[in-house]
Amino acid sequence: MRLQHTDTSVQRVSTLLLLGLGMWIILLIAQEHYQDSLPPRTQPGLVVSGKTSAQASDPNQAVPSNTAPENRQHPAFGERIQEREKMVNNQIKLRGVRDPNVLAAMNAVPRHAFVLPQYQAQAYADHPLPIDHNQTISQPYIVAFMTEALTLDPNDRVLEIGTGSGYQAAVCAEIAREVYSVEIIKPLAESAAKRLKALGYGNTHVKAGDGFFGWPEHAPFDAIIGTAAAGRIPPPLLEQLKINGRMILPEEDSQGFQYLILITKQSDGEIRRETILPVRFVPMTGEVEKR
Ligand code: SAH
């Protein structure tokens, strides 16, 4: 009797503790999701539980990268490796990104090669950073999260809207066969193309233009990723998505709140859309602003 009573109390206490821990993790994740594209914080303030770490998958299980070792000539690949590993472990794995290909890609791409000289010290920090022309390179976790949502296959052809620094394109190019990326600010498109070429990402293709219209010459795509937010999803992007294709992009509602939307094109051509999480991205400009 007495023993049973103690057992029940222990059970109750553990259930309460687990519930508390669960709510705390949810709050932590929700808070971090709001960070994207916000000004850098001085204190990363990342507190994480070891349990989640043990559950995270092993990056050694990753399939070979699409960027061949002979293309790894650029010295940046050999620099700041420990910071990159720490970024993957503390910011990405612990928040639940599991896809071994995504973890391997985040480990491989030298993020500091995409960051301005004045922000080099923060290149692997847990927040977005300014790039030229008032744009931003996203928080590492958001890049990993969005890439995982695309469930990329080594044979996939990907379209990106908003090349920016080229970092997200490089992460996708580590996993997928070809990455086509469109950037509306011409000097950004030019510098990203140059950077990606210098790093050996021969499977990336950058075009200066309005991503509203996608890249019809190379359509249809297995996956589409948008990294600038608009009030509506450009219809040409839906058209250029393959059957069973996945698209992730931020959408802004009438009150100015942004959410990542995951779109899948069903086998009957129907569009399924899911609202994934609250985010903050720079605005998508050009045609999408005209109503
Ligand atoms: N993916 C980038 C982040 C870029 S921020 C990276 O990894 O660094 C979003 C980018 O979208 C900006 O560079 C902005 O100029 C671009 N952009 C905004 N509207 C666009 C449009 N209509 N077509 C293409 N690019 C656009």
What digits encode the pLDDT tens for the residues 200-245?
Answer: 999 999 999 999 999 999 999 999 999 999 999 999 999 999 999 9
CA of 227 to the centre of ligand 1 (A): 6
Per domain, the residue ranges of the chain are: 70-289
* Radius of gyration over every alpha carbon of the chain, rounded to an integer in angstroms: 20
Protein residue with least CA distance to atom 23, ligand 1: 211
Q: Are 84 and 124 in contact (CB under 8 A)?
A: yes
Three state DSSP letters for 159-185: EEECCCCCHHHHHHHHHCCEEEEEECC
Query: What is the per-residue pLDDT for 34?
Result: 41
Mean pLDDT on 127-147: 98
**Distance in Å, CA 93 to ligand 1 centroid:** 26
pLDDT at 58 exceeding the cut of 60: no
Mean pLDDT of the residues in the chain:
85
Domain 70-289 is classified in which CATH homologous superfamily? Vaccinia Virus protein VP39 (3.40.50.150)
Which DSSP state fits 226? Answer: E
CA of 255 relative to ligand 1 center, distance in Å? 22
Closest C-alpha residue for ligand 1 atom 19: 284
pLDDT tens, residue by residue, 38-49: 333 222 222 222
pLDDT at position 23, please? 63
Ligand 1 center to 94 CA (angstroms): 28
Query: What percentage of the chain reaches a pLDDT higher than 70?
Result: 77
Residues 162-182 pLDDT 10s: 999 999 999 999 999 999 999
Residue of 65, 138, 181, 191 marked catalytic:
138
Measured CA to CA in angstroms, residue 110 lies from 24, 45, 91, 174, 197 at distances of 32, 23, 16, 12, 14
Active site residue 65: no
Q: Which residues line ligand 1 (CB under 6 A)?
A: 135-138, 161-162, 164-165, 167-168, 182-185, 188, 210-212, 227-228, 282, 284-286
pLDDT at 207: 98
Distance 281 CA to ligand 1 centre (A): 9
Of 223 and 69, the structure prediction assigns the larger pLDDT to 223
Neighbours of 21 (CB within 10 A): 12
- In DSSP terms, 181 is beta-bridged to 160, 206
Pocket test residue of 146, 185, 195 for ligand 1, highest count of atoms within 8 A of CB? 185
Which is more confident, 55 or 199?
199
Give nearest CA residue, ligand 1 atom 14: 162
